[in-house]
Chain A
Amino acid sequence: MNRVGIPRSLFYYYYKDLWIDFFDSLNIPYIISPNTNKNIMSRGETVANDEMCLSLKNYLGHIDYLKDKCDYILVPRIRNFKNNNQTCTNFWAIYDIVKNLFNVNILNYNIDLEKKQTLKKGLFKIGKELNKNNHQIKKAYKYAITKEKKRIKQNHIINQNKLKSKKKKILIVGHPYNLYDELIGKDIIKYLIKNNIEIIYSDKFDSKITNPLSKKISKDLYFKYSKDNLGAIAYSEKDINGVIFISSFPCAPDSLANELAMRKIKLPYLNLVIDNNSSFTGLETRLESFLDMIGGKLND
């Protein structure tokens, strides 16, 4: 039957729509692991090495959930996007980590533009492994990539419109796999929405536009997602009231990006580092005071 398992973590948040369009078009059945819950997270923590970051532990928990529910698990290796746009070293290693820890069939493709391994080649590779012919894959790829390009444009326009909003605007900077994860970032987002804040997500900007702008903050950046994030700050700095930088513990690229952002921008700035703490109290104190601050209502 060839059912593909998609872990709802890490790469899922970058490529979910593209993958789903691609598999749908090829008529390949798939299963997506559910929203992260404590059970999944603790499964991840048991198999993971303690030096790994929270997000990676979470990813392994999702793999553990999927391991006996499908025939393949989709684990790409996303390495670099050329021109000093590397990804996190955990992303380079993840295929090997999964292969070592789990006895599962892995559906893998590489993105390594320095070695000319493109997304297109990758999707053709997995299409063939799932016994589809060239013609079918070509059609599916075209369908998925056209929709993806449209989506990126649309998201960028939505973000631009949000920047014109009359509400208090906060740019949320972080990796999508942290921001939208049910257990990592969701509570923060919910809290901000409840308090009537216009949230602008750093990852919803078109990275073609934001990525080069990161040069305004630093010319020496090495990681693609740090560049995207800092570029998003540079892009929207003039129109927002504050920046909240969310990262998972202990993210190495973020620890650099955060330091840079904190020093270079002149807006109210809050850094939240999420570990597997079960209580929201500490975060709430920081968020509440941050909103008090950008509200400026202290001396009424």
Chain B
Amino acid sequence: MKDCYLGVDIGSISTKGVIIDDDNNIITSTYIWTEGNPTEAVKKLLNVLKKNLPKDYVIKGIGTTGSARKLIGLMLKANIVKNEITAHAIGTLTFYPNIRTILEIGGQDSKIILIKNGIITNYAMNTLCAAGTGSFLSSQAKRLGINVEEFGDYALKSKNPVKIAARCTVFAESDLVHKAQVGYPKEDIIAGLCKSVVLNYLNNVGKGKKIIPPIIFQGGVSKNKGVVKYFKEILKEDIIVDENSHLMGAIGIAVLARRNKTGNTYSLEMSNLKFITKAFECHKCPNTCELLKIYRNDELVDSWGSKCGKY
């Protein structure tokens, strides 16, 4: 039997799972939509992974990352739960040890990570606003009536990207509607959108940061060729996009799961697991904490959100 390690990255839009062996080779991986229900998404994810995993492997570690990492960490009894910035950096450094800058645009988050000698020296993440992230692009795609997956090809066709306000999603959207009504061709508008994502990113999370090559671009939006093109054009540098760029977080957390292995073995069988969360508001003091109780097979495993520690 050979050892292997599972990394799960549960983002706001998509859920990614990857299984690696002791030498960081990817044995199998998958990518599905979260659809606002992380526990169901992870159950589906594990089913797919289980089917594709050769029988002679045993899982010796599970790590979770992404915005639902704590919840899914409890569900899978993960041996490590880590934030996505650390996970992304580790995943990337596993394959590109000399990388200096990681650009990442996901569904709700965008981040920039600066690395020197394999150590993160600085990073930034979008603060309050999700402008220019994947969810913005997909909602605009819907408005224009095309699949977000085709966005990149459309953008590459354009020779004159229209100018679209880059600062705020709401302004960008009204700009986009105006441009469409005035009669600009679709590909020019789409190219303009891709360019505005890049400008928004560089003015927002990227501001004040020195972007030094080699640069790698990852997260779901890195699959969009239009955005990649404008990053290259504006930064005047080459941009690496790995074929597994969307999986880097999951790979990173799988690597961490291996480093922190405890000797336990894990199963991917979750179909019988009853995993429920119950939310309620406590009214015993003026704080009115929003509490979340988490049950694993009818047993209370954790509760979150209490300020006083009563629950």
Residues of A within 8 A of B (CB): 37-40, 249, 259, 262-263, 268-269, 271-273, 275, 277-278, 281, 284-286, 288-290, 292-293, 296, 298-300
Q: Are B120 and A288 in contact (CB under 8 A)?
A: no
Q: Are A269 and B122 in contact (CB under 8 A)?
A: yes
Q: Are B119 and A299 in contact (CB under 8 A)?
A: yes
Q: Are A292 and B286 in contact (CB under 8 A)?
A: no
Chain B residues with Cβ below 8 Å from A271 are: 124, 127
CA distance A151 to B124 in the complex (A): 36
Known pairs A293-B120, A298-B90; A37 contacts B208 (CB<8 A): no
Chain A residues with Cβ below 8 Å from B286 are: 37-40
Known pairs A38-B287, A298-B90; A273 contacts B85 (CB<8 A): no
Q: Are B127 and A298 in contact (CB under 8 A)?
A: no
Q: Which of B279-294 contact A (CB under 8 A)?
A: 285-288, 290
Q: Are A292 and B208 in contact (CB under 8 A)?
A: no
Q: Are B83 and A275 in contact (CB under 8 A)?
A: no
Known interface pairs A285-B67, A286-B83; 18 further A-B residue pairs with C-beta atoms within 8 A, sorted by A's residue number: A37-B285, A37-B287, A39-B287, A259-B207, A259-B208, A262-B208, A268-B121, A268-B122, A271-B124, A277-B128, A278-B290, A288-B83, A289-B84, A290-B123, A293-B121, A298-B119, A299-B93, A300-B259
Chain A residues with Cβ below 8 Å from B70 are: 281
Count of inter-chain pairs, beta carbons less than 8 A: 71
Smallest Cβ distance from B7 to chain A, in angstroms?
16
Residues of B within 8 A of A (CB): 67, 70, 82-86, 89-90, 93, 118-125, 127-128, 207-208, 259, 285-288, 290
19 A–B contact pairs at CB < 8 A?
A37-B287, A37-B288, A38-B288, A40-B286, A249-B128, A284-B83, A285-B83, A286-B83, A286-B125, A289-B123, A292-B82, A292-B85, A292-B120, A293-B121, A296-B119, A298-B86, A298-B118, A298-B120, A300-B259
Closest to A271 in B: B127
Chain B facing A: main interface SS: mixed
CA distance A40 to B89 in the complex (A): 41
Closest to A289 in B: B85
Chain A residues with Cβ below 8 Å from B125 are: 285-286
Known pairs A38-B288, A289-B83, A300-B259; A275 contacts B118 (CB<8 A): no
Q: Are A285 and B208 in contact (CB under 8 A)?
A: no
Chain A residues with Cβ below 8 Å from B208 are: 259, 262-263
Query: B118's contact among A281, A284, A299, by CB below 8 Å, is which?
Result: A299
Smallest Cβ distance from B289 to chain A, in angstroms?
8
CA distance A178 to B308 in the complex (A): 20
